[in-house]
Structure 1
């Protein structure tokens, strides 16, 4: 990502009010069962060798509670939902803090949340399903499916899904920033988003390097629509969400937000002041970041995504093949990160952040959802929570993404 001294993302944040931090953690699970009640058999039927992973006893849960609360205090996070589980080890499901700063309503484990760039995992899964059906090929040039793309005869669908296209990231365009923040409820079309990108020269030739870019996903969304024969919303909900058994994952087309949901808070605003973004229109993120989900669905999706149950084994193997990146300890495949062994994606858009990952060695799932994207000491709050949790449960696999890697959302180079 390109940053300047006038970048959209502000690096500093004050502490939250003491009243918000005094809200106790919810101890119920998202399913209404005790948070530490094991839900898996202690024996493995897969033959997989388990990595060292502690039993999620009350003592371990207390350590996790302390670590999460500490991050909340330090980073000024209003509310956060955490779900952690591994076969035979039990579940840790907690909600901390508040879902609405105005009313003080507590965060709950089953609230709907905007998940930002975790959306990319759904869009790329849709694309890969079409690959399995023979309707598109990963090595197709994007020009075969979408006209007018700079370097379109050389950029492949694989380049786009792997963040190696060289196209300019539309969310770094100053005009885009002004258009969004001047009227956050306005709708954007995919074509408008691409216009913000295509007025800039390509950054490098396809395949030469890794650079996170939302423009890539807008193009892939158009490919899914054309090859799939229906709007992206319908394809993802019918061909990805439903077969995956997800019941609370939706692709909004406007400002709609199922209830109950948490309010989101950001300083990525025209004034730089913190605002409530709950009703901002996510159409600007579309295939790159518009999806809404909840903890139960994302816990299931993390496993589905990493194990490839919706794809052929061959296609899943291609998805998980990671090329070099500039991110220490992390690789990027086709719409998916591998960070110290944790496979999945993070997401961030004004007011919300998400982390949805799976560790195959332990068959462990970790989901973190929070209602702010305000960084602390130039670090994403979702990454801070991921680090703190994994230092306790998987010290050999500590999740870490630097801020540049985990800002898959609007960040123009100047105001």
Structure 2
């Protein structure tokens, strides 16, 4: 969820991943070696030592080179990339530095801000309330939240599917000035809505797709009203714990567990690059405030894509999950957006961007393959998000017939 624009970043691939990745154990690449960690998260010193099968040596070398090239071209300080197909193959590498001032290396165990991936958790909470009969997707949001323009016409489904027509508060100039004047200040959900509601609707509800963080702030308020719990508490109890996501959290303020990477952004008042680890993510709230780790996101990718917890229990009802995965066109070729989730040529999931951090977490059901990318900058290059550049480079190798591509989007405040 970029600060200055509503750019939506997504990716694509198919079952060709399996064929590209399945192979005997790979040797570490020659040259300046990236950090390598066991896929299972054990203390073993390498995937080979832990007995985890990895990609073929040639594929690993190509992936290493592609990731390094994107880092060089986009000036990315540090990135971690994971690609897994259970029982077949795995690729897990960290490159570069987590902190430029100290030279501390990027490693797979770091906590990272995940931006708009938060939307998958907020909408999951909403859909659980649908299953409990507390809300209905076609209810108007005005039934739950007062003061919403066209609130008697905009449905919860349209909010979750980015088709409400409501202005994106993070594109408001006054909001931008307020945040950049004091990035450590706290915003309330109602303050965020105030920035959005001073603008006219972009179009009548349901007519078009327009990615707007305002939609998720409203859904977060609906979850709180109908569950009787703070949004973070509901997500912790009903989503994170059952999914076994022990290192994922909805922060209360600017707190950031350690170890974490330092973030770097140019979304500042003067356009200079700033460090962002201590910025308050409250401005993203239900749309983008959450924190996670590579290990947890590896679990979350198939969980949200299938609607089932890792132990097989339904996270949301199968019929509700089917509705979630109805993904009408999202204004990009081959891309569709459902209920807080996207589908691009088979890859299901979401990406995220918060000042200083970007992420991509997607799952390919046909191949049971997961891709996670975590990096510590959101500085765009030629209008393109760094996470998109990594996604494209990786999928050109592992799924050349279905490459993760999205058009560059102009930044607009």
**TM-score, normalized by length of structure 2?**
0.88
Match of 1:345, SS state, is strand
Q: Measure, in 2, the Cα distance between the counterparts of 1:199 and 1:252.
A: 28
Aligned partners of 2:253, 2:141: CA distance in 1, in Å? 27
CA distance, structure 2, for counterparts of residue 387 and residue 322 of structure 1: 21
1:351-405 Cα distance to aligned partner (Å, 9 max, x none): 000000001111100000000001112111100101111111112222223344x
Structure 1 contact 174–412 (Cα < 8 Å) conserved: no
Give the aligned partner of residue 390 of structure 2.
385
**1:83 — aligned with what?**
82
Partner of 1:164, secondary structure, is coil
Q: CA deviation at 1:59?
A: 2.1
Task: Tell me the equivalent position of 2:47.
Answer: 35
Question: Which residue of structure 2 lines up, in the alignment, with residue 307 of structure 1?
Answer: 306
Distance in 2 of aligned mates of 1:64 and 1:412: 33
**Whole-Å separation in 2 of the counterparts to 1:412 and 1:128:** 32
In the other structure, the counterpart of 1:129 is: 128
* Matching residue of 1:67: 66
Unaligned runs of 5+ in 1: 10-21, 41-54
Contact preservation (8 Å) 1:354, 1:367: yes
> What corresponds to 1:102 in structure 2?
101
- Residue by residue over 1:297-320, the C-alpha shift from the partner in whole angstroms, topping out at 9 and shown as x without a partner, is 000000101011111110000000
Report the alpha carbon displacement of residue 101 of structure 1 after superposing the two structures with TM.
Answer: 0.4
SS of residue paired to 1:243: helix
CA RMSD of aligned residues (A): 2.1
When structure 1 is superposed on structure 2, of 147-156 and 392-401 the one drifting more is 392-401
Check whether the contact 1:35–1:92 (CA below 8 A) recurs between aligned residues: no
Question: 1:331–1:338: 8 Å Cα contact kept in structure 2?
Answer: yes
Q: Secondary structure at the match of 2:254?
A: coil
Distance 1:145 1:23, change over 3 A: farther
Please name the residue that 2:342 is paired with.
Answer: 337
Which residue matches 1:149? 148
Asked if structure 2 preserves the Cα contact closer than 8 Å seen for 1:171 and 1:412, the reply is: no
Distance (Å, rounded) in 1 between the aligned partners of 2:51 and 2:335: 31
Query: Does residue 25 in structure 1 map to residue 34 in structure 2?
Result: yes
* Per-residue Cα deviation, 1:117-171 (whole angstroms, up to 9, x for no partner): 0000000000001111111100010000000000000000000000000000000
Residue aligning to 2:380: 375
Extract unaligned runs of 5+ from structure 2.
Answer: 7-30, 309-314
Matched, 1:57 2:56: yes
Give every structure 1 segment of 4 or more consecutive aligned residues whose post-TM-superposition deviation is greater than 2 Å: 32-40, 400-404
Corresponding pairs, count: 380
1:146-295 alignment runs, 5 A limit: 146-295=145-294
The answer to whether the 8 A contact 1:35-1:94 is kept is no
Give the conservation status (yes or no) of the 8 Å contact 2:395–2:402. yes
Q: Distance in 1 between matches of 2:89 and 2:203?
A: 47
* Equivalence for 1:358: 363
Q: How far apart in 2 are the matches of 1:233 and 1:373?
A: 25
Q: For residue 39 of structure 1, report the CA deviation from its aligned partner.
A: 5.2
1: CA distance between counterparts of 2:366 and 2:335? 16
- Whether the 8 Å contact between 1:68 and 1:388 is mirrored in structure 2 is yes
Deviates more, 1:388-397 or 1:55-64: 55-64
TM-score by length of 1: 0.88
State the alpha-carbon separation in 1 of the partners of residues 258 and 408 from structure 2.
30
Q: 2:404 aligns with which of 399, 402, 405?
A: 399
1:357/1:366 contact within 8 Å kept? yes
